[in-house]
Amino acid sequence: MVYGDSRRFILVIFMGSGCAGLRSVSCVPFGRCSCCSLNYPPQIGEILSVHDDDLHKAYVMYLLLNKMEFGLEKYKDFAFYMVTTLLDVMKQEQELANNVLEEMIMLVGAKTRILRKRIGFFVGAMLSIAELKGVAEKKVELAIEFVVTVAEDRKQGCGMIEKLDHDLTRLLSVLLNKLVIIEDDSSWYKADSDNNDDYKVGKLSKFCYGNEDFSRLTVALHGNAIVSNYQEELPNFLVDKDWRKRHGATIKVQWWLNSPEP
């Protein structure tokens, strides 16, 4: 396959160049379309190894529009190649890396089952990004969002994440470390707990999204799953000399106590 063929594939999807088959997603994936002469690119890996944002967007769009659920098995390697490309361009191509992450989140939100056979690889890769020192905070936020989005899928994603004990512990550690990024703002002492603006006093952006993601994760996995994978580090934070760590641990306990029953 040549690169030009990939570009033609994109144009057909996004510009609607007369191919009714693709617009209705009724033609056979990666074969010859019954209503035009287009041959779909046969090599997923070759397509996605090209660091072109449009290629990724086109393929994500194709999968999202594909309503033939059984056909998703044919694309089991697709997400793998996207993550491989993501790791490859992490530092050199910042915008492309962010776009790939956003597209992956959109894809797994709608088609979680596509990760089923390689869930450990995907979650591990995202956590490696979240734990990497010096990486842009936007990437960390998106990597965490990916895992939380999978967990929020009640049919399959929740069960996938619950089985990854080690990775779940890693995720909880990342989130807890976000909850300690807070300042002792003098405005705290005058803050009104019922005022949304006052609620954010002293809380930095990392704290805010870490708190939100932890609350979503607690609802998705239920409190027991959280505690069972975080029995060692949480008690240490509760008795730590640093008030920020005690504060972060208290918030986690609060979310756990308020979490719904399984």
- In this structure, the answer to whether residues 57 and 9 fall within a common structural domain is yes
| Mean of pLDDT over the chain | 67
Q: What integer pLDDT is reported at residue 224 of this predicted model?
A: 61
Choose one of 131, 162, 193: the last residue of a domain. Answer: 162
1: pLDDT confidence band, cut at 50, 70 and 90?
Answer: very low
Choose one of 141, 162, 183: the last residue of a domain. Answer: 162
Looking at the predicted structure, is the pLDDT value of residue 43 above 60?
Answer: no
- In this structure, the answer to whether residues 152 and 81 fall within a common structural domain is yes
- In this structure, the answer to whether residues 77 and 113 fall within a common structural domain is yes
- In this structure, the answer to whether residues 154 and 205 fall within a common structural domain is no
- Cα 172 vs. chain centroid, distance in angstroms? 15
Question: Are the CB atoms for 209 and 184 separated by under 8 Å?
Answer: no
Mean pLDDT across 165-182: 85
Report helix, strand and coil shares of the chain as percent, to nearest 5.
70, 0, 30
- In this structure, the answer to whether residues 141 and 239 fall within a common structural domain is no
AA letter at 12: V
- In this structure, the answer to whether residues 30 and 115 fall within a common structural domain is yes
Distances (CA, A) of 211 to 31, 55, 177, 208, 255: 46, 34, 10, 5, 9
Q: What integer pLDDT is reported at residue 96 of this predicted model?
A: 74
How many domains, in total, are found in the chain?
2
Distances (CA, A) of 153 to 94, 104, 146, 150: 28, 15, 11, 6
pTM: 0.67
Which of residues 237 and 123 earns the better pLDDT score? 123
Q: What integer pLDDT is reported at residue 152 of this predicted model?
A: 92
Mean pLDDT across 228-239: 71
Taking the C-alpha atoms of residue 41 and residue 54, their distance in angstroms, rounded to an integer, is 14
Which residues constitute the domain of residue 19? 1-162
DSSP 3-state of 182: strand
pLDDT in tens, 85-123: 677 766 667 777 788 788 788 878 887 887 888 899 889
- In this structure, the answer to whether residues 218 and 96 fall within a common structural domain is no
Which of residues 126 and 4 earns the better pLDDT score? 126
Q: What integer pLDDT is reported at residue 126 of this predicted model?
A: 92
- In this structure, the answer to whether residues 9 and 83 fall within a common structural domain is yes
- In this structure, the answer to whether residues 81 and 93 fall within a common structural domain is yes
The phi, psi pair for 39, rounded to 5°, reads -100, 120
Range with top average pLDDT, 32-36, 54-58, 87-91, 110-114: 110-114
Dihedral-angle region of residue 153 (phi above 0 means left; psi in -120 to 50 means alpha; beta otherwise): beta
Q: What integer pLDDT is reported at residue 33 of this predicted model?
A: 40
Choose one of 102, 136, 162: the last residue of a domain. Answer: 162
Closest by CA to 150, choosing from 166, 164, 137, is 164
- In this structure, the answer to whether residues 108 and 48 fall within a common structural domain is yes
Give the count of beta carbons closer than 10 Å to the beta carbon of residue 203.
17
Q: What integer pLDDT is reported at residue 189 of this predicted model?
A: 47
Give the count of beta carbons closer than 10 Å to the beta carbon of residue 178.
26
Question: Are the CB atoms for 47 and 55 separated by under 8 Å?
Answer: yes
DSSP 3-state of 232: coil
Looking at the predicted structure, is the pLDDT value of residue 5 above 60?
Answer: no
Q: What integer pLDDT is reported at residue 201 of this predicted model?
A: 46
Taking the C-alpha atoms of residue 249 and residue 230, their distance in angstroms, rounded to an integer, is 11
Closest by CA to 140, choosing from 176, 175, 103, is 175
- In this structure, the answer to whether residues 157 and 180 fall within a common structural domain is no
pLDDT in tens, 198-229: 445 445 677 888 888 888 888 888 766 666 66
Taking the C-alpha atoms of residue 216 and residue 5, their distance in angstroms, rounded to an integer, is 42
- In this structure, the answer to whether residues 133 and 230 fall within a common structural domain is no
